[in-house]
Structure 1
Amino acid sequence: MLYVVGLGPGEKKKMSLEAIEVIKKVDVIVGYTTYIRLIKELVDGKELISTGMKKEIDRCKKAIDIAKDGKDVAVISSGDAGVYGMAGLILELTSQMAEEIAVQVIPGITASIAGAALLGAPLMNDFCHISLSDLMTPWEMIEKRLNAAASADFVICLYNPRSKGRPNHLARALEIIQQYKSEDTIVGIAKDVGRKEEKVILTSIADLDETVVDMTTIVLVGNKETYISDNWMITPRGYKL
């Protein structure tokens, strides 16, 4: 069996029981080196296959080969395996094969959900996920999606918001969003969720300090009704109080 497992933010208490059970029972763990390090207490004695960044296809092909040999193997992703994780790539590869490989996707808590829980209740109304990484998606398409989401006043969860290689993507995204939302729109920032450096910041589009944002950060841009109360970010669902 080939499992694709979402680890959540990284700490054991935010992993599902199903994810923990699968990791404990499989013969082989395949994943990005950093993710394997997050679950080191669960993988003692197992065969570990790890690679660095940008080796996703190689990792998935290796996991498929191991499953073909009859071993139980888990490909791990941070967050949810089906949200910018390895589930899609595994299924794309196995769907092209002549022989059938049994695959099971094990869900995990994705960054927007984990971050929202720390910030309050920012996702109580319609929201969307947009990755600002243009490694897989052309930037022109990302801009179209930002325009569409902002014009419809979704709460927008920005994944991969800023990195050394993409230092200006967040600023450009906020410029687009401000065509439709006020600069006073509430923004929640959650950094390193579930890790020792965990931190949350409540701010606005106008006051957002981009320098605190990196690849381990999720940025949640509220809708026109989102507000702050008692240090909680709240997006009303629409109840009459």
Structure 2
Amino acid sequence: MKQNLTRSFFAAALLFTATATYAQTKSLFNGKDLTGWHVDVPEMDKNPNARNPFIIRNGMFVSLGSPGGHLITDKIYKNYRIEVQYRFAGKPGNCGVLVHASTSRALYEMFPKSIEVQMENTMAGDFWCIQEDITVPDMEKRRGPKENWGVNGNKLRRIRRLAPDVEKPVGDWNKMVIECLGNEVKVWVNDIFVNHGYNATVSSGNIALQAEGSEVEFRKVDLTPIKKLSKD
């Protein structure tokens, strides 16, 4: 199994080397404030005393976990690599990186239309389809019966990752790398290739980070634009 995953990792890496080049990497947080991002937290609309669950602390971005909501980039991105280094500050729990996000509160009056790359403890690298869709190999094995697939409500929206046991113990730092190129999304967790989706129904949008019940610290959120090479 490990040999197969290693081969898949290097094959994916070689494919990207052959089809794309990388531009200059930049941090999406300045270590001081949330410039470049906007908050979408339903509770803050209803309660003027509700706290903002997204803060900068000791130079790091922190999602406090509640009230639930999303921190969304002001800019729209296409063809890029994003690297996040994160850890659960206390007890393990839930969070996520949403790529190709668009319409706010499109699901359950909370989640923006997007493809989520899961960060929940023991599930990091899973895809969740949120009013958008994506295809993976072995789809029925990893998503469930085809007749129950969907992108909203109680449909089967989760697509399980390829490799188990890729996360470090709670309190240690994890690294997640997501590469979005055209209609493909590839994911690595701690340098292990864990997911590859293609034929996505969307190829650009905002990037969002969640507040979903658990405090999560981010010491790096770096974005690198990708330029597709000509086939000529």
TM-score (norm 2): 0.24
Higher relative contact order (CA 8 A, sep 6+): 2
Greater gyration radius: 1
